[in-house]
Amino acid sequence: MNSMDLVRTAQAMVAEGKGILAIDESTGTCQKRFDSIGVECTEKNRRDYRGMLLTTPGLGNNVSGAILFDETLRQSTDDGTSFVSVMQATGIIPGIKVDKGAHPLAGHDGEKITEGLDGLRQRLSEYATLGARFAKWRAVITIGEGIPTTACIEGNCHALARYAALCQEAGLVPIVEPEVLMDGEHSLDECYDVTEATLRALYNQMYEQNVLLEGSILKASMVISGSDCADRADVEGVARATVECLLNTVPAAVAGIVFLSGGQGDQEATAHLDAMNRLGNFPWPLSFSYGRALQAESLATWGKDITANVPAAQDALGHRARMNGLASTGRYEATLEDS
Ligand code: 13P
């Protein structure tokens, strides 16, 4: 694959009115989600659940691509059609999470470093053969007493850029995701400062590692007050701070920015995205790559009856995808939630 193909894929991932569905939970995280609905976390149930999501009628109208976990990229529907083929038939680009998770950063209490660079070249080559066209790597930055440290930010951004360069070598578009966690009592301003420092470090490293920015996507956390902050900023405040921070740190050449939901409520995440897109035109499309904020309602519905409720659970996902598709162009209205 040449760089024009990378650029075309990256642009398709943020095509107008579309965003990305994140269903790349590790088996451990999936266990937690399934525990919450009282469903056993077996390979078959994970396959049935993700298959239900991926075969939602009309999903491709608002979802450009889906990020899968290794297991899911290799699974098939009951009739033996691979999930990758199902996605290709409906215009949803297959993506794959390739990091090996965030682990304690030695010498730095309370901070994490994402692992997975060893052997990554070989793994990416196999994923490309299996049909993946983009990848995701998530780094985690925690705000707290005396943290994040420069060591944590620099270490994680270095790994993100090394991963991104390897992806492009293999013909996959890298989604680089430095998530500043919402957990904590920190203010909007503190989140702004940490996000700004992180994104500066990230793009310094991206230049150092010769990453083609036009063939890459940033998955960003919003600039938002901590979940335990006493005086949380409103929707307009989050939208303004996030856009200002991104304009000051993210090169215009980046193909697009998609947000994670990070523990926000479904409608809250949609309202934030919509408010940002109403603020004007930016150098990059601003869209979504939500996990929980796209799946929550669908997961709860499916969990009540994993056979009979498949159509209702698909309706719930289709609705959220439509709402976020509208928000990605600044045309969402809360009154549409009942439509
Ligand atoms: P959430 O939207 O649930 O934060 O998940 C997005 C994601 O992919 C995190 O890596």
- Chain mean pLDDT for the chain: 98
- The Cα 171–Cα 169 span in angstroms is 6
Q: Provide the pairing of β-strand 93-97 with 19-23.
A: unpaired
Q: Count up the domains in the chain and report the number.
A: 1
Nearest 5 degrees, angle CA 97-CA 321-CA 16? 85
Q: Where are the beta strands (DSSP E) in the chain?
A: 19-23, 63-68, 93-97, 102-104, 112-114, 134-141, 173-180, 217-220, 256-259, 286-288
Distance of CA 293 to the CA centre of its chain: 11
pLDDT above 90 coverage of the chain, percent: 99
Kindly report the protein residue whose alpha carbon is nearest to atom 8 of ligand 1.
Answer: 22
Relative orientation angle of helices 120-130 and 150-169, to the nearest 10 degrees: 50
* Strand duo 286-288 + 256-259: pairing: parallel
The answer, yes or no, to whether any atom of ligand 1 lies below 6 A from the CB of 291, is yes
Q: Which of the residues are catalytic?
A: 177, 219
Residue 144 has pLDDT above 80, yes or no: yes
Q: Is the pLDDT of residue 1 over 70?
A: no
Q: DSSP per residue over 273-321, as a string?
A: HHHHHTT---SS-EEE--SHHHHHHHHHHHHH-TTTTHHHHHHHHHHHH
* Burial profile 203-229: b = 16 or more Cβ within 10 angstroms, e = fewer: bebbeebebbbbbbbbbbbbbbbbeeb
pLDDT digits (tens, 9 = 90+) for 291-316: 999 999 999 999 999 999 999 999 99
Residue in the block written with tokens 């991963």: 163
Say if residue 148 is preceded by a cis peptide, omega within 30 of 0. yes
Cα–Cα distance for residue pair 163/158, rounded to 1 Å = 9
Q: Are 199 and 148 in contact (CB under 8 A)?
A: no
DSSP state of 215: G
State if residue 157 touches ligand 1 by the CB under 6 angstroms criterion.
no
| Structural domain containing residue 66 | 3-338
Q: ∠ at Cα 138 (211, 86), nearest 5°? A: 90
Residue-level pLDDT at 2: 78
In degrees and rounded to multiples of 5, residue 36 shows phi and psi of -65, -20
Using one digit for the tens of pLDDT, what is the confidence trace for 170-203? 999 999 999 999 999 999 999 999 999 999 999 9
CATH number at residue 227: 3.20.20.70
CA separation, residue 9 to residues 1, 85, 194, 217, 317 (Å)? 11, 17, 30, 10, 24
Q: Which atom of ligand 1 is nearest to the CA of 262?
A: 4
**What string of DSSP letters covers 74-101?**
T-B-TTS-BHHHHHHHTT-EEEEE----
pLDDT digits (tens, 9 = 90+) for 252-277: 999 999 999 999 999 999 999 999 99
DSSP 335: G
Atom of ligand 1 nearest to the CA of 290: 2
Q: In degrees rounded to 5, what are phi and psi of residue 337?
A: -60, -30
- Give per-residue pLDDT as tens, 40-80: 999 999 999 999 999 999 999 999 999 999 999 999 999 99
Pocket flag, ligand 1, residue 138 (CB < 6 Å): yes
What is the reported pTM? 0.98
**CB 254 less than 6 A from any atom of ligand 1:** no
Closest ligand 1 atom to Cα of 22:
8
What pLDDT sits at residue 339? 77
